[in-house]
Amino acid sequence: MFSFLRRKKEEVNSPLWLKCEKCKSLLFKGELEKNMWVCPKCSYHFKISVKERLYHLFDNHEYELLDENLVSVDPLNFVDTKPYKQRLEEAKKKTSFNEAIINAVGYINGNKVYLSCFNFDFMGGSMGSVVGEKLTRNIERAAKDKIPFICICASGGARMQEGMLSLMQMAKVSAALTKLEDAQTPYIAVLTHPTMGGVSASIAFLGDVILAEPGALIGFAGPRVIEQTIRQKLPEGFQTAEFLLKHGLIDEVVDRRHLKETLTKYIENLKYSL
Amino acid sequence: MNFYDIEKKIDKIEEKLKILKEREDIDKEKIKLIEEKFKRKIEKFYSSLTPYQKVLLARHPNRPKFLDYVNALFKDFVELKGDRFSGDCQAIVCGFGKLYIEKEILDFLKDKIKYPCLNKEKGYLQVCLIGQERGKTTKEKIKRNFGMPNPQGYRKALRVMKLAEKLGKPILTFIDTPGAFPGIEAEKHSQSEAIARNLYEMAKLKVPIIALVIGEGGSGGALGIGVANVILMLENSVYSVISPEGCSAILFKSQDKVEEAAKALKLTAQDLYNLGIIDEIIKEPLGGAHRHKEELFKNVKEVLIKYLKNLLIMEPEEVKKLRYKKYRNIGKFEEIS
Ligand SMILES: [Zn+2]
C-alpha cells in the first residue's frame, strides 16, 4: 500500500552502514542515529521512528502516553487480499504500537504541550476511527487546558478498510480544532514525509502554524494519480516541502535537528498566557 | 450481463409495449398482464443491484445533475461566481434561490422561524444552494471539469456559505463528484487547504446545513461541501472514501476487482444508513432517478422541506452545537481497560 510514498529501501549492505539516498555517502548507522537520522554530509532526512522523535523532542526525554486503551475494530468486516483484522494484528506486531497515532503530553523547553504523532509504519499512518478519536481527544484536552496542541503528520490518507467511517474522521477532527479557537490556543502542524490525502486535507493543513521537514512529500493527490490524470510528467521537486514554501502554503521548512528550538519559539510567542 | 445493456433492453421492451398498446387488434387484458409481469421483473432487477451496479447508476449520464435540481425545485436562482482571489471553478455552482412552500408549512414556520429567510406574503424560503455540477454534453462536461472541483471551487463555496450565514439563510448542498481534481495547479493552490478549511468553517456556521448526495460522493472532494446537520442520499447514490476502481487497484492489487471493492467499501445509501452515517434515504423512481424525473423531484422537495422545517425553528447556536455533536460521535472503536 502507498508504495509510491515510501522512500526507496535503503540499500543496506551491512547492519552497521547505510548509503545516503541523496549524496551516496556511506554512513555509520550509530552516527546517523545520534544525528536524528539526518545525513551529516547533505542533510538528507531519513525516516525516524516515532519513539526516537519523541525522545528528542521532549525535555529529559520524558512524556506520558494518552488514550492507549483505544483500539480499532473491524466495523465493515473488510477483506481485500487480507482481512483488515489480520492487517491490524500485523501492524501491531511490526510497530509495537497499537494504532497509527500516539497521543502524548510533555514539556518542550519548559512549555507544556499536547502532542499527537502519526506512525507511518502502522498501515501507512492511515486515519480510521481510532486515529480520529485520539486526535479529537487530544485537541479537546488542549482546548480545555489552554495548552498548545502539536500534531506531527505522516500519512497516506484515510483508512480505506473503515470506509466512510474513515472519511468522516476528517470532518470530526476539523470540527474539534474549532474548540481551540474558543480557547485562544494555538495548533502547530509539523508535516513529515509523506503527508497526503485525507490527513493532508484535514488535520495537516489546519495548523495555525505549518512547519514541514525538508524534502517531505506533501499534497492532496498522489503524484502517480496526478500524472495519470493530466498525462504529463510532474516538474522536479513538485509537492515537496520546499515547493509548498515557495507557493505560500506553509510557514517554514525546518531541519529536524532544529525542530525542538523552532517549536519552542512558536509556542512561546503564541501560547495562551495570562 | 452489463448493466447498461439491461437498461437498453428495458427501454426496448417499454417501447414495444407502447406500440402494442396502440394496436386495436390485440386483447388489452393480455397486454396488461405482460406489462405487469415486466414491471415485476424490473423491480426485482433493481432491488437486487450489486453495489458496483449502483455506482454505475449513480454515475449514469442521464441522471439529473445539480442544475436540474436547481431548475426544478427553486425559482429565480442567482449564481455567485469566483472565490475573489484566484479564479472561478465551474465544477461547483453557488447561489441563492427561492423554495416555495405549502401554506401548511408556512403557517407552522411563521411564528417559530429563527432565521430571516421566509417571505410570508409570497410563501417562499430563501435558501443558499451549493452543488457540484458534472455537466451532460461533452462541451459542458469539459467546462465543468467533469465535476472535479479545483481549490477555487471550494473557496467560492465557502465565501457563499459565509454570506448565507451573514444573511441568515439555510444552506443546501448537492454532492455529485468523482473527487477533487488531481492536478498541478490544484496542488499549487493547495487542494488540501481548501478542503480542510471548508470542513473547519462548515463546522462553525450558524445556519442550518443539509447535504444531499444526488450521484457520486467521491471522497474528500465530496466532503468538502458535505459537513451538515442532516446528510441525505438518493436511493441509488453512493458515497465512498475511495472509488471502487481506486480501491481495487490499491488494496486488491488488480484492475478488475471493482465489484468486490464496491461491496467491501459499504458505499451504498443503504449501507451508510445502517452504519448511522446518513440520516435518510430518498426514494427514487423505478429504474433510477433519470427515468421519471417529476416523481424524483417531488420526493426530494418533500424530504428537504421536512428537515428544513425542523432546523429553521432551532436557535443558531443550537444548530451549530448539534452539528458538532453529530460528527463528534462518528467512529467505531473499542475502549479496553
Ligand atoms: Zn547525504
**Residue in B180, B323, B333 closest to A130 by CB:** B333
**Residue of chain A nearest B228, judged by CA positions:** A171
| Nearest-5° Cα angle at B70, B68 to B72 | 65
Strands B92-100, B124-132: parallel, antiparallel or unpaired by DSSP?
Answer: antiparallel
Write down all domains in chain A, each with its CATH number in brackets.
1-46 (no CATH), 48-270 (3.90.226.10)
Contact B11, B220 (CB under 8 A): no
Which residue is associated with the grid cell 552497521? A16
- Say what the ipTM of the complex is: 0.95
**Residue of chain A nearest B329, judged by CA positions:** A172
Single-letter amino acid code for the residue at A161: Q
Per-residue pLDDT of chain A (274 residues; tens, 9 = 90+): 454 555 554 445 567 899 998 999 999 999 999 999 999 999 999 999 999 999 999 999 999 999 999 999 999 999 999 999 999 999 999 999 999 999 999 999 999 999 999 999 999 999 999 999 999 999 999 999 999 999 999 999 999 999 999 999 999 999 999 999 999 999 999 999 999 999 999 999 999 999 999 999 999 999 999 999 999 999 999 999 999 999 999 999 999 999 999 999 999 999 999 9
CA of A27 to the centre of ligand 1 (A): 8
For residues B130 and B150, give the distance between their C-alpha atoms in angstroms, rounded to a whole number: 15
**Preferred mutation among B146, B193, B320, B328 to probe A, highest tally of A CBs within 10 A:** B193
Q: Residue B2 — pLDDT band, cuts 50, 70, 90?
A: low
Supply the pLDDT for residue A11: 47
For residues B47 and B54, give the distance between their C-alpha atoms in angstroms, rounded to a whole number: 10
Between chain A and chain B, how many beta carbons pairs sit less than 8 Å apart?
198
What integer is the mean pLDDT of B92-106?
97
Helix, strand or coil, per DSSP, at residue B86: coil
Q: How far apart are the first and last CA of chain A?
A: 47
Query: How many CB atoms are closer than 10 A to CB A248?
Result: 10
What's the mean pLDDT when you consider all of chain B?
95
Which residues are CB-neighbours of B42 under 8 A, at least 6 positions away?
Answer: B10, B286, B287
Supply the pLDDT for residue A10: 47
Helix, strand, coil abundance in chain B, percent, nearest 5:
50, 15, 35
Residues B54-73 as b/e (b if ≥16 CB within 10 A, e otherwise) read bbbbbbbeebbbbbbbbeeb
Contact A266, A111 (CB under 8 A): no
Query: In B111-257, where does DSSP find H-type helix?
Result: 138-143, 151-167, 184-188, 191-204, 219-223, 244-250
Supply the pLDDT for residue B44: 86
CA of A119 to the centre of ligand 1 (A): 24
Supply the pLDDT for residue B79: 98
Find how far residue B124's CA is from the centre of its chain: 22
User: What are the beta bridge partners of residue A211?
Assistant: A190, A252
Strands A252-253, B92-100: parallel, antiparallel or unpaired by DSSP?
Answer: unpaired
Q: Give the highest mean pLDDT range of A14-18, B226-230, B255-259.
A: B226-230
For residues A199 and A167, give the distance between their C-alpha atoms in angstroms, rounded to a whole number: 10
Side-chain-side CA neighbours of residue B148 (13 Å): 15
Restricting to B residues 138-197, those with a Cβ less than 8 Å away from any Cβ of A are 180-184, 186-193, 195-197
Chain B positions in Cβ-Cβ contact with residue A202 (cut-off 8 Å): 195-196, 199, 220
**Residue in B191, B204, B333 closest to A178 by CB:** B204
Q: Name the nearest CA neighbour of B177 among B199, B150, B146.
A: B146
Q: Residue B24 — pLDDT band, cuts 50, 70, 90?
A: confident
Restricting to A residues 2-41, those with a Cβ less than 8 Å away from any Cβ of B are 2
Query: How many CB atoms are closer than 10 A to CB A235?
Result: 9
For residues B35 and B38, give the distance between their C-alpha atoms in angstroms, rounded to a whole number: 5
**Residue in A136, A177, A204 closest to B192 by CB:** A204
The reported pTM is 0.95
**Residue of chain B nearest A244, judged by CA positions:** B188
Indicate if the pLDDT at residue B29 is higher than 60. Answer: yes
Which residue is associated with the grid cell 497509527? A100
For residues B310 and B114, give the distance between their C-alpha atoms in angstroms, rounded to a whole number: 11
**Residue in A172, A235, A239 closest to B330 by CB:** A172
Residue A51 parent element (H or E): helix A50-57
